[in-house]
């Protein structure tokens, strides 16, 4: 499980780079005024949405990882890669379609396309209808909240911070009884360490 965690963290770094590249592309398109349909404000909303992209990827990956621990799901790092790719492609779809049909329509189209793709794919990965619908519900909620945050210019930081705090609380609550030593394969090492400490204490008492 420890190696799985490191693989997930590595994938997060990869997708952070991918989102930065898409972000730079959006900035470039805005600079050259590539679309007559989109205003500079629309481009700024697209750019701002990409800043939430990494939060979305981490949230979905965290949900997968916690489900592996709590629900005994088996998800391969390659499947994490494909899911993260779908989440990243959303922003490319948003940018490309928005230049032709507008921001709101492109956002809805991209979200529906990515959620539909992940719904279809997760049916084969999870083989658990309850888990599939739970993940789809999480994605729908995430995209809806991100759209609301993009529309809220004055309170987006406040609302976003509160949401992150709520997510952190949920993770801590769900994992409060998890034995991380056992998951990381370090339980035996921990027992050996405790045993050695007791032995040294007994030796000190003899002297």
pLDDT in tens, 123-156: 888 877 888 898 999 899 989 988 888 887 777 7
Q: What is the pLDDT of residues 182-196, one digit of tens each?
A: 766 554 555 555 565
Query: Is residue 87 one of the residues assigned to a domain?
Result: yes
Report whether pLDDT(107) > 90: yes
Cβ(60)–Cβ(87) under 8 Å?
A: yes
Helices (H), 32-128: 40-51, 53-70, 77-101, 103-126
Residue 159 lies inside a defined structural domain of this protein: yes
Question: Cα–chain-centroid distance for residue 146?
Answer: 13
Residue 206 lies in a domain: no
In the chain the first and final C-alpha atoms are separated, in Å, by 43
In a domain, 207, yes or no: no
The number of distinct structural domains making up the chain is 1
- Domain of residue 113, residue span: 1-179
What is the pLDDT confidence band of residue 90, given thresholds at 50, 70 and 90?
Answer: very high
- Indicate whether 59 belongs to any domain: yes
The reply to whether 161 falls in a domain is yes
> Which tokens is 149 given?
């945050």
Q: 140 in a domain, yes or no?
A: yes
| pTM, to two decimals | 0.78
In a domain, 194, yes or no: no
Mean pLDDT: which of 28-32, 96-100, 126-130, 196-200 is highest? 96-100
The helices-and-strands tally (H runs, E runs) of the chain is 9, 0
Nearest to 50 by CA among 76, 29, 19: 19
């Amino acid at each position: 499980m420890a190696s799985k965690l490191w693989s997930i963290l590595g994938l997060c770094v990869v997708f952070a780079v991918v989102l930065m590249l898409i972000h730079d592309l959006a900035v470039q398109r805005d600079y050259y005024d590539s679309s007559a349909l989109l205003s500079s404000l629309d481009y700024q909303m697209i750019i701002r949405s990409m800043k939430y992209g990494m939060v979305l990827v981490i949230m979905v990956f965290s949900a997968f990882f916690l489900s592996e621990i709590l629900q005994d799901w088996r998800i391969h790092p390659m499947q994490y890669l494909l899911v993260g790719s779908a989440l990243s492609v959303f922003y490319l779809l948003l940018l490309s379609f928005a230049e032709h049909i507008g921001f709101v329509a492109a956002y809805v189209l991209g979200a529906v396309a990515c959620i539909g793709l992940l719904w279809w794919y997760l049916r084969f990965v999870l083989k658990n209808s309850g888990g599939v619908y739970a993940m789809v519900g999480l994605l729908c909620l995430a995209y809806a909240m991100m759209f609301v945050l993009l529309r809220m210019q004055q309170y987006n930081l406040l609302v976003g911070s509160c949401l992150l705090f709520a997510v952190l609380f949920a993770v801590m609550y769900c994992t409060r009884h998890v034995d991380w030593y056992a998951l990381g394969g370090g339980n035996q090492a921990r027992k050996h360490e405790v045993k050695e400490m007791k032995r040294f204490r007994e030796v000190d008492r003899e002297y």
